[in-house]
């Protein structure tokens, strides 16, 4: 996994001080006889021990690399109030998008209600009220560390100018550790230390050194100010990008939730329409047929003529058969009885096994992905499509082998039915068959009813593949 630029900076801030301090110490030790007295060498050793102890303490107090954000970020670095709307991340906090003022980079996790709406004050990825990924105590510790390190660096540079290698850390750490109002002051203090080193040491000992110190200080101060200004602009752009990305992610999550809700509403509307259709058909066909049967039976019981009674019984029998046909036609599109006690994979496995026993075709059934409980309408749709696809294979395909695969994917369920039969030209298929099936158009309509799709690939002599994909709507 590639290391990001932010992670490399975090590693530099954690381990860079040790490297710079060690390098400056080696150079200072090599030049100690030329620059320092014995007393200054002892003082330098004591300051080095103090600096090393300070960095060990800060390494323990600061967050490890890769936690994101600016460790020890000051006031305004990712601080702001905002209203957010987002999906729960599973920890009880909502990952929202803030509209407040944020001076630092990064987007915040904002507190909210459990339904994903709410407002709060949040920062970074760790949560807190100040800094990015830090609590207020860590922010104060960062300021204390910066002040002590700056004093130690200035004192070491005073004793040996080569410790300017270590003092230059102040340029990099001012914005990430100091509050906005103190950043410029921190940069100027570092510029004084660097200019003193470059002009021959602190304090300047001669007018020539003072003449060199002034321009060098102005140069260092101007360079540090310009670089800090550019870094601030870059941080603002990063913060804006982070807020935009967070807003887009929240919008995508909300759209996904709305899509699933619309699928469920469409299913419920379809169920209501189906109930109204069945009620009308029962009233107009089955109920009237049963009424006629009863009337014929009553007439047969009331008549004393055997021939007339026989006629009434024949008519009652014909009405009963017609009503049975109407009943079968009416309930053909209801939820399959196979799903009353089994899940979709189990029902498909039984259906495939029974079909193989009737047809003698060698068929394989497989399930991929993590099985999840599906909404009744989704499960019924997939089972009906599988039944119709297998029926078409038996009637028209004359296949020797077939395969049925049910795949659970991210937000989607796929059903694939393949055979090595005769194949056909999909563009020339008659939508409905005389045997009562509803053909490819009917299967496609079933898939579209639950916001899915159905694709058919076939070629004469090269078998057929039917693939249905529907949204993964869980059992409510």
Is the pLDDT score of 335 beyond 60? Answer: no
Cis peptide bond upstream of 135, omega within 30 = no
Chain centre to alpha carbon of residue 429? 41
Percent of the chain residues past pLDDT 90, beyond the cut? 15
How many C-beta neighbours within 10 Å does residue 27 have? 14
Tokens of 47: 């300051």
Q: Which residue has the higher pLDDT, 423 or 429?
A: 423
pLDDT at residue 274, rounded to an integer: 67
- Among 230, 156, 147, 150, smallest CA distance to 191 is for 150
Name the pLDDT band for 50 (thresholds 50, 70, 90): very high
* pLDDT, greater one: 111 or 427: 427
- Interacting residues of 219 by C-beta distance below 8 A, sequence separation 6+: 195
The two structure tokens encoding residue 230: 């550019």
Spatial separation of the C-alpha atoms in residues 117 and 254, rounded to whole Å: 11
**For residue 383, what are its two tokens?**
């089972």
- Which phi and psi angles does 458 have, rounded to 5°? -160, 155
* Average pLDDT of the residues in 169-179: 84
- Confidence grade of residue 287 (pLDDT, cut at 50, 70, 90): low
Exposure pattern of 198-230 as b/e (b: 16+ CB <10 Å)?
bbebbebeeeeeeebbeebbeebbeebeeebee
- How far is CA 247 from each of CA 84, 113, 233, 242, 251, rounded to the nearest angstrom? 9, 18, 21, 9, 6
Q: Mean pLDDT of all residues in the chain?
A: 76
The sheet carrying 362-368 orders its strands as 362-368, 401-409, 412-419, 464-471, 453-458
Instruction: Give 1-45 pLDDT, tens digit per residue.
Output: 567 777 888 888 888 898 998 998 999 888 888 888 889 889 989
DSSP strand pairing (412-419 vs 453-458): unpaired
Q: Which band of pLDDT confidence, cut at 50, 70 and 90, is reported for residue 346?
A: very high
pLDDT for 133: 44
Helices of type H across 332-419: 344-359, 376-392
Long-range CB pairs of 453-456, under 8 A, 24+ apart, other chains included = 454/385, 456/426
CB atoms closer than 10 angstroms to residue 360:
9
Q: How sure is the predictor about 365, in pLDDT bands with cuts at 50, 70 and 90?
A: very high
Mean pLDDT across 81-93: 37
Single pTM value for the model:
0.39
Distance CA 337, CA 342 (A): 9
How far, in Å, CA of 58 to CA of 74, rounded? 16
Cα angle for residues 148, 150, 151 (degrees, 5° grid): 65
In whole angstroms, how far apart are CA 362 and each of 397, 402, 421? Answer: 13, 6, 12
Torsion of Cα atoms, 251 then 254 then 260 then 261, to 10°: -130
Q: pLDDT grade, residue 109 (50/70/90)?
A: very low
And the tokens for 475? Answer: 């059992």
Token pair 């909210």 is found at 112
Confidence band (pLDDT; 50, 70, 90) for 96?
very low
**Three-state secondary-structure class, residue 474:** strand
Own/partner pairs for 259-267, CB < 8 Å, 24+ apart?
259/451, 259/471, 260/471, 260/473, 262/451, 263/450, 263/451, 263/471, 263/473, 264/375, 264/473, 264/476, 266/449, 266/450, 266/451, 267/375, 267/377, 267/378, 267/449, 267/450, 267/473
């Amino acid at each position: 996994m590639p290391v990001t630029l932010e992670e490399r900076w975090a590693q530099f801030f954690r381990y860079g001080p040790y490297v710079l301090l060690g390098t400056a110490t080696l150079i200072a030790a090599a030049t100690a006889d030329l620059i320092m007295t014995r007393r200054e060498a002892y003082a330098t050793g004591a300051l080095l021990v103090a600096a090393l102890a300070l960095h060990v303490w800060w390494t323990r107090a600061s967050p490890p690399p890769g936690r994101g954000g600016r460790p020890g970020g000051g006031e305004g670095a990712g601080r702001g109030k905002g209203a957010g709307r987002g999906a729960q991340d599973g920890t009880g906090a909502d990952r929202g998008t803030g509209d407040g003022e944020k001076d630092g980079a990064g987007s915040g996790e904002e507190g909210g209600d459990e339904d994903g709406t709410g407002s709060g004050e949040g920062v970074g990825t760790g949560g807190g009220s100040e800094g990015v990924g830090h609590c207020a105590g860590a922010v104060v510790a960062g300021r204390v560390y910066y002040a002590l390190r700056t004093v130690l660096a200035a004192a070491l540079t005073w004793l040996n100018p080569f410790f300017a290698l270590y003092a230059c850390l102040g340029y990099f750490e001012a914005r990430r550790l100091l509050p906005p109002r103190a950043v410029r002051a921190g940069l100027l203090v570092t510029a004084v230390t660097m200019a003193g080193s470059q002009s021959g040491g602190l304090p300047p000992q001669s007018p020539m050194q003072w003449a060199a110190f002034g321009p060098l200080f102005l140069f260092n101060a101007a360079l540090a100010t310009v670089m800090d200004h550019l870094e601030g602009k870059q941080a603002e752009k990063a913060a804006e990008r982070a807020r935009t990305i967070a807003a887009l992610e929240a919008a995508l999550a909300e759209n996904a939730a709305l899509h699933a809700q619309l699928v469920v509403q469409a299913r419920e509307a379809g169920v209501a329409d189906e109930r109204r259709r069945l009620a009308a058909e029962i009233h107009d066909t089955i109920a009237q047929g049963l009424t006629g049967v009863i009337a014929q039976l009553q007439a047969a019981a009331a008549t004393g003529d055997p021939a007339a009674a026989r006629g009434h019984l024949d008519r009652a029998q014909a009405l009963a058969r017609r009503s049975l046909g109407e009943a079968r036609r009416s309930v053909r599109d209801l939820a399959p009885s196979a799903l009353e006690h089994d899940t979709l994979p189990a029902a498909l496995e039984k259906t495939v096994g029974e079909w193989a026993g009737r047809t003698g075709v060698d068929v394989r059934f497989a399930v991929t992905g993590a099985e999840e409980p599906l909404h009744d309408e989704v499960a019924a749709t997939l089972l009906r499509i599988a039944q119709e696809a297998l029926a078409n294979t038996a009637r028209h395909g004359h296949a020797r082998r077939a395969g049925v695969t049910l795949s659970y994917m991210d937000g989607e369920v796929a059903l694939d039915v393949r055979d090595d039969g005769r194949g056909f030209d999909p563009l020339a298929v008659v939508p409905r068959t005389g045997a009562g099936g509803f053909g490819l158009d009917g299967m496609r309509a079933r898939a579209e009813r639950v916001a899915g799709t159905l694709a058919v690939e076939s070629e004469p002599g090269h078998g057929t593949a039917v693939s249905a994909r529907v949204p993964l709507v869980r059992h409510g």
